Chain A
Amino acid sequence: MSDLVYRGRAWVFGDNVALDGDIMPLEFAISRETRPEVLSAHVLKAIDPEFPNKAKPGDVIVAGRRFAQGNPHIQGFLGFRALGLGVVVESIARSSFRLAISAGVPILPACAGVTKGTATGDEVEVDFATGLFRNRTRSVKHSYQPLDRILLTMIANGGWLPSVKKRLTAMGAA
């Protein structure tokens, strides 16, 4: 799963980043917007208005505890996927963990203390399949618990919907 290695800059955020509001304006959840080109322009702009323009594919969100807390609206994670971002967090709410998988966003969900040793702009390399987090600016690396292989496969498939289509085809049910 070599496509699960992300190389880019780190974008560091604190604790309790909210799914509705901080990561994505609530209006897109209410209107059930799912178009990547629409959602990508609004990712995290409540915290940094320029973020959608500055972020590049391969960049990694590094955040603290209870990342993406709030009601389970997938739009924020669809936005991350549209921008090609990975997510490395100290902890994440249960329902949002599921949304990340569904949207096909690679994630390391339990990286204690990761925000302490990383600053926005650091060059990082994250292998989401093995859990290896390398901060090349600071020449340090950490090994975190990666996701289960089943979930990595779903992410590599592009998320929940493509995975279900594959499963249905394999079952000969559709």
Chain B
Amino acid sequence: MGQTASEKILSRVLRREVRAGEIVFPEPDLITIHDWYAANTADMLATLGVERIRAPEKVVLVTDHEPTAVSRQAAERQKKVRAFAAKFGIERFFDVGRGGHGHIFPVEMGFVQPGMFVKAYDTHVPNFGAVGALGIPLVTEIVEVLACGSVWIKVPETVRIQLTGRVHRGLSIRDVCQRLLVDFDADRLDYAVVEFGGPALANIGIDGRFTLCNTPIENGAKSALVEPDQIVVDYLRPRVEGDLTLTKSDDDAVFRWRGDYDLGVMEPQVAAPPRPDNVVGVSTVRGIKIDHAFVGSCASSLYTDIRDAATILKGRTVSAGVRMFVTPGTQEIWARADQDGLLRILVDAGVVLTAPGCGPCAAGRIGPLAEGEVSINTGTRNDPGRLGPMKADIYLASPLTVAASAVAGEIVDPREFLP
């Protein structure tokens, strides 16, 4: 009997064959820790009396949730994170202005490879599935990984989705991902790794694959990954030294569910308050007035997302009464978007650019809402309070829909704004 890619990855790490359902203590190949949480981690290690961490060379420490400290408290926290890096000898520390979003730049820099097992003190590490790595989030228990080398996980089952068809004009992978949350309910995804394969992958670049892997956890999946192929090899070749091993599921592996999914979603999809899976076609919510728009977050701050926003905003301006933020995910994405003239288009349209990282999506520390306001954005979640006040409505949509809505001052169908 064959194995799924996730079973193979964990078997390699554990040096024995494991199957879905087993409780195991696998040592990750890479650990990412993010600014807000590094301070808690330092406190907890001190409580436990831990003076040395087991493998500082595996750790990538990032400043992404609040790169531009906008309060005294945030500046103090950054200071604490710097002290944490120094104390435990963490050399791969990407502070303000160095990397950008910790769920994206480690892939750009070649730290993440197909078949790797990654643990993170933050939710959206499944992003690393874009190149076929298995990323599993933790919260407080990252302390055990640092101090002891591992923490328990249950070897996950896999839901295998064969992608077919093409994304229609005026829609993006983000629309498909949002639709997927409706079509694959929490009972099917809970505790499973969502694995994407199939013929349509040939038309989805690395950027779209980040978005694909980012969203399933909003409905309870444990992680997500794309079956690595030539697109991954071509992307990583200049970034990684040595050979790449493409870990893939066997045909006779046991899957929880296996089937096709057509990318040809017919209408742009919008997640209405109060949950990311409360998804409707844009026609259902069109006309709702907005105050705030944002393109960014670990789900949608890739180069192609910035390009989609610029496609709509070229020669137009953001509506009076709407403030729009764009947060390129990383320093590299910012530089490329600048080189290609995209940032100029955004600035001319009246967009505020913010430092690479999470942008407003990280609880609205940057560019929040006021009470009673309405935002449409490409963040990961729309729970009440996500952008500050509990009484404010958040709609999630593709960069195309967000940009078009910012121009119109209300939620619109972006297909009417295509050049």
Q: How large is the interface on A (under 10, 10 to 19, 20 to 34, 35 or more residues)?
A: 20 to 34
**Count of chain B residues near A, Cβ 8 A:** 24
Question: B76-117 vs A: 1/0 string, CB under 8 Å?
Answer: 000000000000000000000000000000000000000000
Chain A interface SS verdict (over half): helix
Q: Is the CB of B222 within 8 A of A173?
A: no
Whether A135 is near chain B, meaning CB under 8 Å from some CB there, is no
Whether B170 is near chain A, meaning CB under 8 Å from some CB there, is no
Give the residues from 71 to 120 in chain A that come closer than 8 angstroms, CB to CB, to chain B: 71-72, 91, 93-94, 97, 101-102
Q: Is the CB of A71 within 8 A of B383?
A: yes
Starting from the known contacts A150-B23, A173-B148, A174-B48, 16 additional A-B residue pairs (CB-CB under 8 Å) come to: A65-B187, A66-B186, A93-B186, A93-B190, A94-B191, A94-B220, A101-B152, A160-B144, A164-B147, A164-B148, A168-B49, A168-B50, A168-B148, A174-B50, A174-B51, A174-B147
Q: Which of A72, A148, A164, A174 contacts B139 (CB 8 A)?
A: A72
| 14 cross-chain CB contacts under 8 A | A66-B187, A93-B186, A94-B190, A94-B191, A94-B220, A94-B222, A97-B191, A101-B152, A102-B140, A148-B154, A164-B48, A165-B48, A168-B50, A174-B49
Q: Is the CB of B50 within 8 A of A173?
A: yes
| B interface, CB within 8 angstroms of A | 22-23, 48-52, 54, 139-141, 143-144, 147-148, 152, 154, 186-187, 190-191, 220, 222, 383
Whether A61 is near chain B, meaning CB under 8 Å from some CB there, is no
CA distance A97 to B143 in the complex (A): 19
Interfacial chain B residues near A173, Cβ < 8 Å? 50, 52, 54, 147-148
Chain B interface SS verdict (over half): loop
| A interface, CB within 8 angstroms of B | 65-66, 69, 71-72, 91, 93-94, 97, 101-102, 148, 150-151, 154, 160, 164-165, 167-168, 171, 173-174
Interfacial chain B residues near A71, Cβ < 8 Å? 383
Interfacial chain A residues near B186, Cβ < 8 Å? 66, 69, 93
CA distance A16 to B54 in the complex (A): 40
**Nearest-Cβ distance from residue A1 to partner chain B, whole angstroms:** 16
CA distance A72 to B148 in the complex (A): 23
Q: Is the CB of A167 within 8 A of B152?
A: no
CA distance A102 to B143 in the complex (A): 13
Interfacial chain B residues near A93, Cβ < 8 Å? 186, 190, 220
Interface centre among A97, A148, A165, A173 (most CB of B within 10 A): A173
Q: Which residue of A lies closest to B189 (CB)?
A: A94
Q: Which residue of B lies closest to A163 (CB)?
A: B144
Interfacial chain B residues near A66, Cβ < 8 Å? 186-187
**Nearest-Cβ distance from residue A163 to partner chain B, whole angstroms:** 9
Q: Which residue of A lies closest to B54 (CB)?
A: A173
Interfacial chain A residues near B154, Cβ < 8 Å? 148
CA distance A66 to B187 in the complex (A): 8
Q: Is the CB of B141 within 8 A of A160?
A: yes
CA distance A173 to B150 in the complex (A): 14
